[in-house]
């Protein structure tokens, strides 16, 4: 009997299928494209061959996991699954059509989950006759390696469904955070300034890409600099997420996309996958040397970090997630060196407010408006966390 149905066999869908099968579930992996399905099967077999070579699994253990995944080219072969997770194209109409079709073949207590990273879960749920059993379960790529999963109940989602999904995903060895159904949820919302403010610094000529990346990694403690990361993700993908969040927030200037990145996409400079992005990845080209000026670097780091802190504070202020889940999401979801709200405490709330006000005074732009929560906390001398002994 099928426990879990995964719809979409791309890297995300096949990764989720791997996670579920490894956790002991019988999995049905469906894709309307037969070639994509065959490719997913080949890739998963290669992955487990490497895991056996690295002695992560015995041969019989890997074989047992792979045997729990059924590759099917008919949605109805997934009939009766207790949990269905869709990982198809980021298109609202396509997801709604899928859920409307899938709902009819599932049992009354089955859960339907979307892996969307940017669309409204409530809008997807609205396509179903029983919207109360629909929610967002957002994995990060690659799903087998990334520990964080965002759980996003829609307005219609029943509490019992959220609790069941939370318990199940944690049983797969994942760390879950609960997020309100708002654009970008936690990670994709809070991370926007990491790219946006870095691009702004570049556009101003304050520093080049290599220097900004050096500052953020060597001085800031981030695993990858913003330009290296944008090239890794793909400038087309990163720009689309920023544009989607910007539009979803009714064109709030804080999320305004960069013309620089737009032109990169238009030129086909997508990053590593195209051989060129903010850096040239050709065989004869080297990454430019950064300007290793400590004072310049610290200014770069703080300007980007204070914008990240402001975004996290506003998310807490608006009830997007709890304090602990906001910090957990950024450390486990995108490997930030520390939680942003804890970072605010260490830097000083008053210092955060003063920096944001200085930027706002300088530029007179709404992107630098200080969160009301930060301003109130600075006035009252409060912290996000109590002082540790």
Same fold: 4-178 with 186-389: no
pLDDT digits (tens, 9 = 90+) for 144-186: 999 999 999 999 999 999 999 999 999 999 999 999 999 999 9
- pLDDT exceeds cutoff 90 at 24: yes
Q: Which residues are known catalytic residues?
A: 117, 138, 150, 188
Q: Quote the pLDDT of residue 285.
A: 76
367's tokens: 């992107």
- pLDDT exceeds cutoff 90 at 379: yes
Q: Quote the pLDDT of residue 283.
A: 78
List strand residue ranges (DSSP E) for 67-147, in order: 69-72, 83-86, 111-114, 134-139
Confidence of residue 187 (pLDDT cuts 50, 70, 90): very high
Domain ranges (residues) in the chain? 4-178, 186-389
pLDDT over 70 percentage in the chain: 99
Which CATH architecture fits 186-389? Answer: Orthogonal Bundle (1.10)
Q: How far apart are CA 290 and CA 214, in angstroms?
A: 6
Q: Do residues 100 and 128 make contact, with C-beta atoms less than 8 angstroms apart?
A: yes
Q: What angle, rounded to 10 degrees, do the helices at 235-248 and 192-203 form?
A: 110
Q: Quote the pLDDT of residue 286.
A: 78
The alpha helices in the chain, defined as continuous H runs, are 11-22, 34-53, 59-67, 92-103, 121-125, 159-171, 187-190, 192-203, 209-214, 226-233, 235-248, 259-267, 294-317, 323-333, 340-347, 349-363, 372-380
| DSSP-assigned beta bridge partners for residue 112 | 84, 134
pLDDT digits (tens, 9 = 90+) for 231-268: 999 999 999 999 999 999 999 999 999 999 999 999 99
Q: How far apart are CA 334 and CA 224, in angstroms?
A: 10
Is the domain spanning 4-178 CATH 3.40.190.10? The answer is: no
Q: Quote the pLDDT of residue 388.
A: 59
Q: For the CA atoms of 3, 146, 327, 161, what is the dihedral angle to 10 degrees?
A: -10
Q: Quote the pLDDT of residue 389.
A: 36
What average pLDDT does the chain have? 95
Q: Quote the pLDDT of residue 282.
A: 85
Confidence of residue 118 (pLDDT cuts 50, 70, 90): confident
Q: Quote the pLDDT of residue 387.
A: 73
381's tokens: 């001398």
């Amino acid at each position: 009997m099928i426990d879990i149905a995964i719809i979409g066999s791309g890297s995300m869908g096949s990764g989720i299928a791997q996670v579920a099968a490894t956790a002991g579930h019988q999995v049905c992996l469906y894709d309307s494209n037969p070639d994509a399905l065959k490719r997913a099967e080949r890739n998963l077999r290669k992955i487990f061959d490497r895991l056996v070579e690295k002695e992560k699994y015995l041969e019989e253990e890997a074989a047992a996991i792979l045997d729990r995944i059924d590759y099917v080219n008919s949605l109805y072969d997934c009939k009766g699954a207790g949990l269905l997770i869709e990982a198809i194209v980021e298109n609202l109409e396509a997801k709604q059509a899928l859920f409307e079709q899938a709902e009819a073949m599932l049992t009354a207590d089955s859960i339907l989950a979307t892996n969307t990273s940017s669309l409204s879960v409530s809008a997807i749920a609205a396509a179903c006759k029983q919207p109360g059993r629909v929610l967002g379960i957002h994995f990060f790529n690659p799903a087998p390696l990334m520990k964080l999963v965002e759980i996003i109940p829609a307005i219609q989602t029943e509490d019992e469904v959220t609790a069941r999904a939370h318990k199940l995903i944690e049983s797969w060895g994942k760390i879950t955070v609960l997020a309100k159904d708002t654009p970008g949820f936690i990670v994709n919302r809070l991370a926007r300034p990491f790219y946006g403010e870095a691009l702004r610094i570049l556009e101003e000529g304050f520093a080049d890409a290599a220097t900004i990346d050096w500052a953020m990694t060597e001085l800031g403690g981030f695993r990858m600099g913003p330009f290296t990361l944008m090239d890794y993700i793909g400038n087309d993908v990163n720009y689309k997420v920023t544009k989607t969040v910007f539009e979803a927030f009714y064109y709030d200037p804080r999320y305004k996309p960069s013309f620089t990145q737009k032109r990169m996409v238009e030129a086909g400079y997508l990053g590593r996958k195209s051989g060129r992005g903010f850096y040239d990845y050709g065989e004869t080209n080297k990454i430019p040397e950064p300007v290793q000026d400590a004072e310049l670097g610290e200014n770069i780091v703080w300007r980007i970090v204070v914008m990240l802190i402001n975004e996290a504070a506003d998310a807490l202020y608006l009830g997007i997630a709890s304090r602990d889940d906001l910090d957990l999401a950024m450390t486990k979801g995108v490997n930030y060196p520390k939680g942003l709200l804890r970072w605010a405490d260490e830097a000083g709330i008053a210092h955060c407010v003063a920096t944001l006000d200085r930027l706002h005074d300088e530029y007179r732009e709404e992107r630098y408006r200080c969160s009301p929560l930060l301003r109130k906390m600075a006035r009252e001398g409060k912290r996000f966390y109590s002082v540790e002994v």
